[in-house]
A and B are shown apart, each in its own frame.
Chain A
Amino acid sequence: MKVEFLINGKKTALNVGPLKALVDILRDDLAMKGTKKGNSPAEYGCELVFLNGELVDASLIPAFRVDKGEILTIEGIKQRKDFPDYERIVREVLKGNDRLYCAGNIVMLVKALFMEKKNNDIEAVKEALSEVICSEIGFSGIVEGVKRLSSLRGKRIRG
């Protein structure tokens, strides 16, 4: 079927099977490799994107659902003005290792927290971040990182 949607602000049209998962559309049809596949063994993967402003798992979204929708991926976030904030989290918290496989997902989760204004709710932060399964490093620094970023942004707004 033909699907038309906005991806990172750009209009795109594709011809794909209606049940093809969004993660496969991104990686195969659009050659956008930022959204990773299979980095969690949970019932659901951890391949996060924003669909119509909401954080969802791209492996659970079929093509027909994407039609007339708006998608924001990690590639899109990287182009935005506020990306340095998230990059800071990745560098600090992930100890500068932006090459971690889960780095993209962490950025998505942190961004979702800020978008939903839950960044100051510690329990919500912990719950959101528990979704990421990263085998390489421990996450004690992440909550701190979000706190620091929250206060930094707060300072910026207040001038």
Chain B
Amino acid sequence: MAVREKGIEVSPGNFVSDIDLKGMLKVSIVRSSIPSGEIEEIKLPKIPAGYWIIGRESVPGTNFFVTNASLIDDTVGKDGSSQGLSEGEMGKESCGKYRRLWFAEGRVNYPGEPILLVAGPDLHIVRELASSVTVKYREDGYITDPIEALKEGRIIRRESFDRGNYESIYREAYQVVEEEYEIRGQEHLYDEPQAAVATWDGKLLTVYTQCQDPFLLRVYLAALLNLPEKRIRVVLPSTGGALNGKLEDAILVAGYVSLVSFVTSLPAKLAYTREEDLDYTSKSYPVIARYRSAVDSNGDLMGLSVTLIVDSGAYETFGYDSLLRMRLASLGVYRCNDIHFEMYLVSTNKVPFGVMEGMGSPQGFSGIEIHSSRLAEIAQVDPFVWKKRNLISKGFILPSGYAIEEYETPLLVLERVVSISDFQRKYSAYEMAKKRRSNVESGTFPLRGIGLSLCFQPAGLPDYYEKKRKSSVILKFDRNRNITVFSSFFDYSGLERLIVSGLLEKYGFDGSRYIWELVDTQISPDTGPSLPVRRGMIMKPLLERGLNMLKRKRLNSIPPLSVKVSYRNPSRRRQPNKLPYSGLVWVGTVVEVEVDPITFNVAFRGIWVVTSGKGDKLDLDSSGTSEVPSLISEVEAGVMHGLGFVLGRRRNFKGLHSGENSFYVVRGGFTVREIPLKIDFLGGEKNSGCFNCTGEVGIVGVAPAFIAAVSQATGVYINKMPVAPSVIQDYIDSENAEAENVGTP
């Protein structure tokens, strides 16, 4: 399988951080050390010859780029101008809405906010110079608690809707259950830290980047440098992993390095160290979710009220799609017509949060799926029975207000995961053991629990976005009978290659004779961002249509042949309540744990994941046996990422005092070797499979299933993530303290 590479010193196994060019300047960023304040003075050290300080003043174009707005609001132009916001309006009041700055302007809003760049031939000297820049601030108050941010009115976005008559439902309810859940931001922890290299020869800017959306990057670079897009070339040599964390942060890194190159006319490179990447790049959105349900005497759902408080950090980022998924996910998959929903995106003085694998769905489902396990427990009903009873069915729409197309699939997925994990028998056994236990800490027997979740992950990006983006792919068939794929979609996990080789066979081409061309905006068409959710829904249909066209062309013409295929919105009847995505993948997850009563360490007895998505099954019979293991491998990785939310280690944001709202989580400390993991694609046949966002299904349902399992095992309601032994100890201590208080007259 050949992958032809072009460009300077770019070859297989070489990554952006490996690129070294003659005369290259290394770049370091001077960052804010405080969370919030006005910049009073900047004192620069003596700069030796050959070294540069570059900042706001050197920017030829605009010092900001628009984040969410242009993607969801047609009235906002690429520069945010139609909103009436001018460049100077980035004070505290604007809450970092719509825009993100390249360089801080007069004030800083989070620790680590870039202020200046230092560039030079020796990285050590560059870093020394960067740390010798002294910035004098007039500090002002800062907020790290999203609830406080909400109270102070730091609201970037708000959304709310009502359906039915939930208020009266609550008044009449048999029981009201009210809980609050919290999920923290998780660090992507891609293997290769952020890095970019740029060269400017006076006519053409070439940027080597890891950015998952090279064409969007080009737009931003054009605005930053005031250059027409055709004079900017973006190349993706290789990406050492992404987890959807190489969008905005990669744009920032590429932008800085491009600016340096543009100003100095020398090649420039910016490569974060791991620590820098941990401290200053975005994490997934932290969410506080408040649930208030009304249930009837059977414990079934009557009314549902959900309030989400999403921490955006100091600025709004590319989270448009995540917020939508969070809304869909947080309202769950149950029948309910009386809904109250509120969502607030608030700004705090932290590194801006953004997209991660899962894209908001894990956060959303963490709330509702823990909550529904509680409802089942309160009703003294097996969660599987409860879910089955309350599951969306024909004639109903999702609580979020959308209709789904197939009602059998979620039920089949749920039943299958329950069956392969032996969920019901175990649940009742562990429930009985829990009730018999007098004291969690005194036992010598391991504490066991099992949890279940049913989730979905929408495939592709929202329809209105895909329509706007008009992704396309070019396929060429040459005289040597090779197929070359030209696309901006980056093949970073090997699955794209597998899709292609399988499809080639299907359309009568040789499965081993293809080339995935290096992503280069000068020769690749725009296929939109490289996201696992788009692989099955966008990428694969384009490839299929293209191969089909080539196949027909081949009958009448001799090579070389070439076709270009563009995304076509699947024709749909005008349907009220249509889900804004082209498809859904359903995921059922069961997690079984064993908690050591002495150490409260959580060990896994098993994790089961069953997934299915209608409409896009690839016939794998002709493609050999390695495909399904690849899909399994992707789902495995997703499960590890999902466990990161619950078992990740706390790490404090730099520049903020240690505290409850100043940390995020970093995966580590557990590996696949300790977890018996079983993944099933619905149907159970070895050759059935579904490419729809397999890179995303592992992560979605693991956290709530884990929390439900550990809650059962320990007998305490755990509502916050991450969960560590000392945290479990805390929960148990407060339960015991409460029990004692209740006892005293």
Contact = CB atoms under 8 A, between A and B. Distances in A.
A39 interface: yes
A45 B238 contact: no
Given A135-B641, A137-B633, A141-B633, A101 B240 contact: yes
Nearest to B636: A138
Interface stretch (A3-11, A28-36, A63-71, A147-155): A28-36
B192 A41 contact: no
B462 interface: no
B637 interface: yes
B18 interface: yes
Q: What is the interface residue range for chain A against chain B?
A: 35 or more
By Cβ-Cβ distance, the 9 closest A-B pairs, closest first, are A138-B636, A101-B240, A101-B191, A38-B274, A97-B494, A33-B18, A126-B673, A39-B191, A95-B630
Given A41-B278, A136-B191, A95 B626 contact: yes
Contacts of A96: 1, 494, 497, 626
Interface string A32-73: 011011111110010000000000000000000000000000
Interface residues of B, number: 47
B672 interface: yes
5 contacts: A37-B274, A130-B673, A135-B640, A137-B636, A140-B632
A139 interface: yes
Interface in B214-256: 238, 240-241, 243
Contact of A136 (B273, B492, B498, B673): B492
Given A96-B1, A99-B12, A102-B191, A143 B673 contact: yes
A85 interface: no
Nearest to B277: A38
A98 B633 contact: no
Contacts of A100: 191, 240-241
Given A95-B626, A140-B672, A101 B494 contact: no
Contact of B241 (A37, A38, A136, A138): A136
B141 to A, nearest CB: 32
Contacts of B277: 38
Q: Per DSSP, are chain A's interface residues mostly helix, strand or loop, or mixed?
A: loop
Contacts of A31: 20
Interface in A75-101: 92, 94-101
A109 B574 CA distance: 57
B14 A33 contact: yes
B629 interface: yes
A135 B642 CA distance: 12
A8 B672 CA distance: 33
Contacts of B191: 36, 39, 100-102, 133-136
B637 A135 contact: yes
B48 interface: no
A97 B3 CA distance: 11
Nearest to B123: A28
B190 interface: yes
B437 to A, nearest CB: 33
A101 B274 contact: no
Given A37-B273, A138-B637, A139-B671, 19 more contacts: A33-B18, A39-B191, A39-B274, A41-B666, A94-B494, A95-B629, A95-B630, A95-B633, A96-B494, A99-B13, A100-B191, A100-B241, A101-B241, A133-B189, A133-B667, A135-B641, A135-B667, A136-B637, A140-B672
